[in-house]
Structure 1
Amino acid sequence: MSEQLLPGYIIRRGSLLERSLLLKFMQRTYQGLFPNEDFSHLEQTVKQYFSSDTPLWWVEEEEREQGSRGAGEQGSNKESISSAPLPLCPSAPLPPIACLWVGNAIDQVHGNRHAHIFILYVVPEHRRRGIGTALMRYVENWAIQRGDRQIGLQVFQSNKPALNLYNQLGYQTQSIWMVKFLSAEK
């Protein structure tokens, strides 16, 4: 079942059968931030954490009437998220343009379960249209309905657009994740 997220966009709950599409979105997310890295290890993350207890939502463009796609618009199967034009097929659904994957975490101070955003990604062609904000509001409402008192997420310090979005929505830094790279040499 889907519902309208914003004019022109619908949101629908993903299924466990869309594991490979989730993996493609995750890889695209990280490759956008770190283009020279290999993210094949993300398959293990999806395998370990993606379950019926970790909801996934997809945002898609509302279906257009058959034959109304312009020459520059895409038709595709569900597994493609490429920016390259694909062959037009009026009966094929449009690919998702955003995803939101949420897990569960435990507040280390109070011990309460809360929602934790694993990934929020909007394809570049659809950014700055309010989709990220709408997704954040959607997940906040979902978390409130299930009784959560907070939402957690992790964002890379170099991802300024995401930091700006989260700050504008009232998210605050609660902790700082620190790393030290170790040499294997002895």
Structure 2
Amino acid sequence: MSEQLLPGYIIRRGSTLDRALLLKFMQRTYEDLFPNEDFSHLEQTVKQYFSSDTPLWWVDFLGKGDQGENFTLSPLSSSSPHSPIACLWVGNAIDQVHGNRHAHIFILYVLPEHRRRGIGTALMQYVENWAIQRGDRQIGLQVFQSNKPALNLYNQLGYQTQSLWMVKFLSAEK
């Protein structure tokens, strides 16, 4: 079942049969941020975490935008006008301070030719409503410091830094 997300765009629930397409969207997400890296390991992430308990939504473009403009379809999409142009994958996490389950956004990705049209904001509002309906009291996500457009979006929507994820790279040599 699908519903209108924005004029010209519908949102529909994915299924576990969408594993290969989800993987393509994940790879595209990371390739946009880190173009010279190999992301073949993302297959393991999808294999480990993608299930019927981790909902996936697709956004399809119906052919015309709210101003009547036409868009070209991405090479990631098929020739069908109902190929996804965005995805939202959500998992579950536990708030380690209070012990409450909450939604955690694994990925939100919009193809470049459909960005700056309100799709990311609409997807965030959609997942917030979904999380409220299931009783969640917060949503978590991870965003790279270098991803300024995403940081701006999340800040505008009221998201705040709660903790910092720190890493230290270790040498395998002795």
Q: TM-score, normalised by structure 1?
A: 0.83
* Kept after mapping to 1: 8 A contact 2:8/2:66: no
Structure 1 residues 72 and 141, CA gap change in structure 2 (3 angstroms): closer
SS at match of 1:51: coil
* Kept after mapping to 1: 8 A contact 2:92/2:104: yes
Structure 1 residues 126 and 138, CA gap change in structure 2 (3 angstroms): same
Question: When the two structures are aligned, how many residues end up with a matched partner?
Answer: 165
> Which residue matches 2:148?
160
1:73 to 66, 69, 75: 66
* Kept after mapping to 2: 8 A contact 1:57/1:99: yes
Is 1:131 the counterpart of 2:119 in the alignment? yes
Please list every run of 5 or more consecutive structure 1 residues that lacks an aligned counterpart in the other structure: 60-69, 76-86
1:184 deviates by 1.3
1:173 to 136, 150, 161: 161
Root-mean-square deviation (CA, aligned residues, Å) is 3.5
Q: How does 1:5-154 map to 2 (within 5 A)?
A: 5-59=5-59, 92-154=80-142
1:2-31 Cα shifts (integer Å, max 9, x gaps): 000001100000011110000000000000
Structure 1 stretches of at least 4 aligned residues deviating more than 4 Å after TM superposition: 70-75, 87-91
Structure 1 residues 135 and 88, CA gap change in structure 2 (3 angstroms): closer
* Kept after mapping to 2: 8 A contact 1:99/1:121: yes
1:53-77 Cα shifts (integer Å, max 9, x gaps): 0000000xxxxxxxxxx999999xx
1:95 deviates by 1.4
Larger radius of gyration: 1
Percent identity (aligned): 91
SS at match of 1:97: strand
1:77-108 Cα shifts (integer Å, max 9, x gaps): xxxxxxxxxx9999945310000000000001
| Distance in 2 between residues matched to 1:158 and 1:23, nearest whole Å | 22
1:39 deviates by 0.3
| Distance in 1 between residues matched to 2:149 and 2:155, nearest whole Å | 10
Please list every run of 5 or more consecutive structure 2 residues that lacks an aligned counterpart in the other structure: 69-74
1:150-182 Cα shifts (integer Å, max 9, x gaps): 000000000000000000000000000000111
1:52 deviates by 0.4
| Distance in 2 between residues matched to 1:117 and 1:108, nearest whole Å | 17
Structure 1 residues 42 and 175, CA gap change in structure 2 (3 angstroms): same
